[in-house]
Amino acid sequence: MIMSSCSLLHMADEDDDRVFEMGDYQGPVARWCSGCGDHSVLTAAQRLMADQQLKPETTVFVSGIGCSSRFPHYMKTYGFHGLHGRALPVATGVKLARPELDVFAVMGDGDCVSIGAGHWLHATRYNLDMVALLLDNNIYGLTKKQTSPTTPKGYKSNTQPYGSYLPPMNPLEVTLGITNASFVAQTAEWLPAHLFATLKAAYEHRGFAFVRILQRCPHFMQDMYSEAVKNTDLVQILDHPEGIKAEGIDKIYTNRLRHDPADIHMARELAEDMNTIRLGLFFRDESRPRYEETRALQKRTAREKMDLLNEDFDRYAV
Ligand code: SF4
């Protein structure tokens, strides 16, 4: 449920000398399985809040349904835990109604890539200034090991006990193919420095920042990334002065590829190859139009919008 932050916002003026620590954003203890990658993403998000000194009363986390969708419960900000696949339409509504808020949409792979796929395409195209996190654990965890759109081919689940029939969808490739995509990155929850740097870059981006986070589900997908965690050579870091700079990982992650995030053709080529785990900024273009800037109604008050709506409805009066 969204709560009104109007009265609190009045407190947050230029005289506001509050300093926020990570603990100021921490809600109750998360109920995810021990070792679940969601814990790491939650910590990174709280670290980002403190790093950027985001005001809890002007920050909103919106989610759909799935393990990772419990995210808003664990943040001491405003939040909306909604319907399956509907994080993005709710986040879009919040951002359009209150453009001054910092909006984060948190989705799982079933949530975003399956039932919410239509919203994902259009939210990317609308390019509203918000952060969209896809916590991709390649399985429906909440409903106990059902094949998701990103489950690897051949993986045996409770819905496909003889193995997944189809090759998995590629969320990076899809997002990079959407008209007006402006920021596409990939990171991994087991690499906290890279995860934090990616969230920071996504937050600082002016537009719709789509981040796919490779997330381990030790309960149902034990082996999914175990080799990549042990052998750092299996992970390739996209490197560029304009890319994502993660501190302290250069000596450990030496498999690096120079990639200019302004080059969408190369970004698509790199994303298409699903045999290599690539982390970094695939694409960024801040010149792409943002819907909130082009929207004429933005300049109207709530009363004026309501009058316009009523005027329109009256046209159909019988
Ligand atoms: Fe995390 Fe998997 Fe447990 Fe869900 S089932 S909380 S994704 S480890």
Q: What is the DSSP string of 164-229?
A: --SPPP-HHHHHHHSTT--EEEEEETT-HHHHHHHHHHHHHSSSEEEEEEE---TTT-TTTTHHHH
- Protein residue with its CA nearest to atom 5 in ligand 1: 141
Residues 116, 132: Cα–Cα separation, whole Å:
13
- Protein residue with its CA nearest to atom 1 in ligand 1: 36
User: Do the bridges between strand 59-63 and strand 256-258 make them parallel or antiparallel, or are there none, so unpaired?
Assistant: unpaired
pLDDT (tens digit, 9 = 90+) per residue, 21-71?
Answer: 999 999 999 999 999 999 999 999 999 999 999 999 999 999 999 999 999
- Protein residue with its CA nearest to atom 3 in ligand 1: 33
Best of 41, 217, 224, 226 for a ligand 1 pocket test (most atoms within 8 Å of beta carbon):
217
| Amino acid, res. 18 | R
Residues 299, 54: Cα–Cα separation, whole Å:
25
Best of 31, 38, 145, 150 for a ligand 1 pocket test (most atoms within 8 Å of beta carbon):
38
Distance 68 CA to ligand 1 centre (A): 8
Distance 140 CA to ligand 1 centre (A): 9
pLDDT (tens digit, 9 = 90+) per residue, 86-103?
Answer: 999 999 999 998 999 999
Distance 156 CA to ligand 1 centre (A): 17
Classify domain 2-6+18-289 at the CATH class level.
alpha beta
Task: Please report, for residues 16, 130, 134, 181, 196, the alpha-carbon distance to residue 124 in angstroms, rounded to integers and kept in the order given.
Answer: 34, 10, 13, 5, 22
CB-CB contact of 77 with 61 (8 Å):
yes
Best of 67, 111, 136, 150 for a ligand 1 pocket test (most atoms within 8 Å of beta carbon):
67
- Protein residue with its CA nearest to atom 7 in ligand 1: 217
What is the full per-residue pLDDT of the chain (318 aa) written as tens digits?
Answer: 334 343 444 444 667 899 999 999 999 999 999 999 999 999 999 999 999 999 999 999 999 999 999 999 999 999 999 999 999 999 999 999 899 999 999 999 999 999 999 999 999 999 999 999 999 999 999 999 999 999 999 999 999 999 999 999 999 999 999 999 999 999 999 999 999 999 999 999 999 999 999 999 999 999 999 999 999 999 999 999 999 999 999 999 999 999 999 999 999 999 999 999 999 999 999 999 999 887 655 577 888 888 888 998 898 887
